[in-house]
Structure 1
Amino acid sequence: MFGSRRRRQRELDARLRELYLLEEAYGRYGQPPPALPSPRQPSRVPGFIALVVVAGVTISAVFAMQPQIFPDRVHELLGTTPERLLPARDIPSGPGEFSFMATQPETGDPVGYNPCEVIEVAINPDGAPDDHQELVETAIEHTSDATGLQFELVGTTEDRDFENMSMDDPVLVMWADEDEAPDLADDIAGVGGSYRVSAYGGATERYVTGFVILDRDAYDDMRSDDMRQAIVDHEFGHLVGLGHVDDPRQLMHERGGFVTHYGDGDLTGLAELGAIGCS
């Protein structure tokens, strides 16, 4: 049942192992990335709700050291200690489940975005529904409110190359079909994830950019506004670092379509992702 998707994952893993991203910074260059990609998480649900099924991916790469990923101690020595842009959210204590797409190799803490930097987002409107900007703006609002991360919608882009992104690129949101994004095949209505980086010799990894890809055909056929928004919100949950769960009360349930808003477990995980230290 999942054979073709597993083959696709193996192909992507092989490509990532060969990836060599060179980013000049302070006269130093990146190194070939380790084999760190996490598995994609396809999900399915029967019948009409199959249109709202969602999936996530996290991709790893090592880039050159940049000021925004200096260790905190270096910032302190240089007098450039970063500060949060928005307050950290109180972490709820509800009973719901949550999981993370990736964790720090040494501590087990979640990998997340730097809360001291704006997460820029750009939309490619080609093939997108008429209300695409409203859908993205609402997802940004929901995810920011839950994490304390600050997003900025910077406009539109012609870029569609979600597999070859630079760490300076804004998060890419686009609508596509399975020919362009094979992971949208069958009943997968969305894919989301982020690229993570680490500094030279540093143990702490951070997400720096990513993508959210929605199924164009599914959105053409879908009539429920709540479900249409739920897909985008779910993929933004993957974008900032949430993984799938078995708890059907959560928006991040692996099969999707059971709820249309972040549940208490989702909110706990999102708050923890937003509460990581600045870097």
Structure 2
Amino acid sequence: MGGSVRQQQDGRSQTPRGLRTSPTGRVPQWVLDEAVGGRQPSAAWRAWTPAEPPALPARKQRPWAGIGTAVVVVAVLSAAWFLGLLPGVATTDADRTAPSPGVEASDGRLGTPLTPPAAGGTFAFAQLQDDGVTPVAYDPCRPVHYVVRPDNAPYGGEQLITDAVAQMSAVTGLRFIVDGATDEAPDEQRQPFQPDRYGDRWAPVLVTWDTVTEQPDFAADVAGQAGSLAVSVGDGPGVYVTGAVELDAAQFTDILSRPGGQAVARAIVLHEFAHLVGLDHVDDPTQLMYPTTSDVLDFAAGDLAGLSRLGAGACEPSL
């Protein structure tokens, strides 16, 4: 039969010998497709809406908003959860639901966003302020801390994250600080303030390599999901204070085993971090934020223009 895929009598396919396997011992689907002369079909991105977080005492809450993600099959957790301080908020340390105001706030921006390309391009924001125009973004006057849970990481995974963060910082002007490894697990109900674990500050962005058990959506051709949580003081603007990036450990292992897989994996992580800082999908297939698979493996003009806007958000030392 050569390199073809034989069929057993019970109808199940039998994998021929001699095909390449991933580090997990599995034969990736693209290898099987190649063996029979087929091509891997293009898959559409799916949207995913997380469960609503529990209400916090004496605070108002706006609903979560679900959006879709990235370049190979990814979903996005868009955590648009606005909190406003109301009368009667508990002030004792044991009952606090937010850190002391102004932690690490600077008098000015920590970096300068990239000048948007003159050609322009299509972009969209995950969340807008009440004016319907200004995007919700991270505070450019304080650093964005992040931690990485190294469990299940594929070979080269750490470098993918480091490179994506560096490029995100160069484009947005936001300063990212890695706080090292953590044992915190992904959680749809993750609390934005965890003083016992992270001290008197907003919890850092959590980056994890998930198993299908931890994130069942990854069983359905979804390679990752990401999003951020926004808070506001009173009638002030919403500001992202923390977020999460979840990546499918098994799928990244397979992707990285393919010819050209490094570039595809990099594009997915870039797409996810763009969702983290506030970009949404667009209908333009020439942009990295297009919601279906494509040959675009880096930020295009519209992506860059949107990210530049997100790096020019307002400084909010009251948070």
Which bracket does the TM-score occupy, shorter chain normalised? 0.7 to 0.9
- Report the identity percentage: 36
Q: CA–CA distance in 2 between the matches of 1:96 and 1:136?
A: 26
Instruction: Give 1:165's match in structure 2, choosing from 170, 191, 202.
Output: 191
> Per the alignment, in what secondary structure is the counterpart of residue 254 of structure 1?
coil
Q: Indicate yes or no: 2:219 matched with 1:191.
A: no
Q: Distance in 2 between matches of 1:174 and 1:195?
A: 17
TM-score (norm 2): 0.70
The aligned counterpart of 2:137 is 112
SS of residue paired to 1:94:
coil
> 1:57: how far off?
2.6
Summarize deviations over 1:88-125 as a string: whole Å, max 9, x none.
33232324211110000235200000000100111101
1-structure distance, mates of 2:158, 2:262: 14
Gaps of 5+ in 1: 23-29, 44-48, 70-79
- Provide structure 2 residue ranges, at least 5 long, that are not aligned to the other structure: 1-45, 86-97, 194-201
Distance 1:94 1:178, change over 3 A: farther
Counterpart of 2:196? Answer: none
Tell me the amino acid that sits aligned with residue 212 of structure 1.
V
| 1:33 matched to 2:33 | no
Q: Is the 8 A contact 2:120 2:305 kept in 1?
A: no
Alignment of 1:43-122 (within 5 A): 52-59=72-79, 60-62=81-83, 67-68=101-102, 82-122=107-147
Counterpart of 1:206? 239
Name the structure 2 match of 1:180. 214
Q: Does 1:220 align with 2:264?
A: no
Out of 259, 269, 285, the position equivalent to 1:232 is 269
**1:11-22 mapped onto 2 (5 Å cutoff):** 12-13=50-51, 15-16=52-53, 19-21=54-56
Give, in angstroms, the shift of residue 148 of structure 1.
Answer: 0.6
Which structure has greater helix proportion? 1
Tell me the number of residue pairs that the alignment of Structure 1 and Structure 2 aligns.
243
Contact residue 112 and residue 172 of structure 2 kept, 8 A: no
Amino acid across the alignment from 1:165? Q
User: Is the Cα contact below 8 Å between 1:54 and 1:234 reproduced in 2?
Assistant: no
Question: What TM-score does the superposition give when structure 1 sets the normalisation length?
Answer: 0.80
**1:26 corresponding residue in structure 2:** none
Query: Which deviations, in whole Å up to 9, do the C-alpha atoms of 1:18-66 show, x marking residues without a partner?
Result: x2236xxxxxxx514122x1123167xxxxx8xx222223211416575
Match of 1:250 in 2: 287
CA contact (8 A) 1:101 1:243 kept: yes
Structure 1 SS opposite 2:244:
strand
CA distance in 1, matches of 2:116, 2:122: 13
Across the aligned residues of Structure 1 and Structure 2, the Cα RMSD in angstroms comes to: 2.3
User: What is the CA deviation profile of residues 177-211 of structure 1, one whole-angstrom value per residue up to 9, with x for unaligned ones?
Assistant: 33312332311111010011111232x00000001
Pairwise CA distance, 1:236: 0.2
Higher radius of gyration, 1 or 2: 2
Q: Is the 8 A contact 2:116 2:301 kept in 1?
A: no
Asked if 2 retains the 8 angstrom alpha-carbon contact of 1:93 and 1:268, the reply is: no
Q: Secondary structure at the match of 2:226?
A: strand
Query: Do the aligned residues in 2 keep the contact of 1:184 with 1:191 (CA within 8 Å)?
Result: no
Tell me, yes or no, if structure 1 residue 142 matches structure 2 residue 167. Answer: yes
Change (3 A) 1:228 1:81: closer
